[in-house]
Amino acid sequence: MIRFDDVTVTYPDAEAPAITGATFEIPEGELVLVIGSTGAGKSTILKSINGLVPHFTGGDFSGRVTVDGRDTRTSPPREMADLVGYVGQDPVAGFVTDTVEDELAYGMESLGVAPDVMRRRVEEALDLLGLAHLRDRPLLSLSGGEQQRVAIGSVLTVHPRVLVLDEPTSALDPPAADEVLAALSRLVHDLGMTVVIAEHRLERVVQYADRVVLIQDNQIVTGAPADVLATSPVVPPVVELGRLARWSPLPLTIRDARRAAIELRGRLAASTWRGGDSPSATQVAGAVTDLVPSYDGVPALRKVSLDVRRGEVVAVMGRNGAGKSTLLASLAGLRKPAAGTIFLAAGIGLVPQEPGDLLWAQTVAAECRDADRDAGAADGTTRALLAELSPGIPDLQHPRDLSEGQRLALVLAIVLARRPGLLALDEPTRGLDYATKRRLIATIARLAAGGCGVLIATHDVELVAEVAHRMVVLADGEVVSNGPARDVALTSPVFAPQIAKVLAPLPFLTVGEVKRGLAAAG
């Protein structure tokens, strides 16, 4: 169905090619997962499938990409739209209408689909993706996860033969991600659609994949998931655990890992290690009491009360639209509450879901200079923070040309230059590979150890397992759970990380904890 023949892509003004000599095939009717570290070329591969590379991006393109016999060099994206559906990392950038239902219908209108067929397909997409209750909502009023599902639905209604998705679950809560991936799997198995996904959160996707395409050091390896992940530098926790325990074959699902873990659970049950200590700080960095922010008179939160103490990392979780981002925006003063009080001991620094929204200058150096001036900090303060968070970023690089992880590091450095007493992070691991996420985790732990309170709104259960002291779960604008992160995770089938599910009822959340447990067991 899809064939790459010796494809090399070099973007304008780039010093090196994004991909070099890419040669591989993707058969029809498979769900294919494209993996690799940030900047490896995953998005370039995906954009080459529908002709966005090179028709939209420009630059130098050599080799040949064909989809069902069509050559993307001679068929621009508009001529590939009936064959290839594409959803990028930023769903809002692709919206062209104002409401959910109109957006689902727009692609079919452009292709001249009959009105009765359009109506049927819109209803199918609404049901398939759980969007029926949002059909009349303005697109810009939706949460990030809801927008992601609408973007996927707007492509599915056209009924393409190939569906290309860049980070499709990054903004989705765990149940919504499972629903979307299960729906995509049904499209592959029942209708023979070819689905190509680039995703960093492999723990969500790998069990659905028929084939993996690994991009590493400008080399491409393709094959069965277990074979490729056996040597891949990026793997989900369940595969990392399988490597540690030397299981063969490597498990890709929780079920297979639990079956293989009988002997490991026995060894860990004898261990004296039972988890780290939580911080004992009592000074409040920030708090809300009976908070009721609203949108157009409709309460988004219902008398929510929550505090974050200095040195504490608090994770806020819940379904898309539960009010997580609203809580952070209210704390930061971006949304005036209809009722309730807000307390901040020493200021707050907010890193939004789209860090690039805070970047305005033409170079990294200019952003850092402006941040020093605005924060009243000594010259070079922001640049030094950036060097710690993400070393090697050139001063003259334009912020829009940075990777997701680099943009996050730049915005985080800008925010930290103000030395806030409370740091609020909204979906900070969206678009980050495992290596970049590990650096972020180390940064959060270091800030907390220095007395900063950290509040994280996230769907990333693996991040919470690694760094959070306390977990708060929101549902329909209310707090339904608030307690030690380990206790909440171990008792929740939705918010438990992979390792907790594999080793339950033992209190282990991460592979690192398993290593410490085995060491304690001798």
The mean of the pLDDT values for the chain is 91
Query: Could you tell me the two tokens for 4?
Result: 């790459």
Domain spans, the chain: 2-234, 284-506
pLDDT mean over 319-337: 90
CB 436 within 8 A of CB 406: no
Domains 2-234 and 284-506 alike in fold: yes
pLDDT at 169: 85
- Could you tell me the pLDDT band of residue 19, with boundaries at 50, 70 and 90? very high
| Residue pointed to by tokens 């780039």 | 14
Residue 274 has pLDDT above 80, yes or no: no
Residue 303 has pLDDT above 90, yes or no: yes
CB 489 within 8 A of CB 506: no
Fold of the 2-234 domain: Rossmann fold (3.40.50)
63-77, 139-153, 276-290: which is most confident: 63-77
SS3 content of the chain, % helix, strand, coil (to 5): 40, 20, 35
| Residue pointed to by tokens 């009080």 | 341
Fold of the 284-506 domain: Rossmann fold (3.40.50)
pTM of the model: 0.87
Distance CA 155, CA 159 (A): 7
Task: Summarize pLDDT for 229-266 with one digit per residue, the tens.
Answer: 999 999 999 999 999 999 998 999 999 999 999 999 99
Task: Summarize pLDDT for 412-453 with one digit per residue, the tens.
Answer: 999 999 999 999 999 999 878 888 889 899 999 999 999 999
The amino acid at 462: E
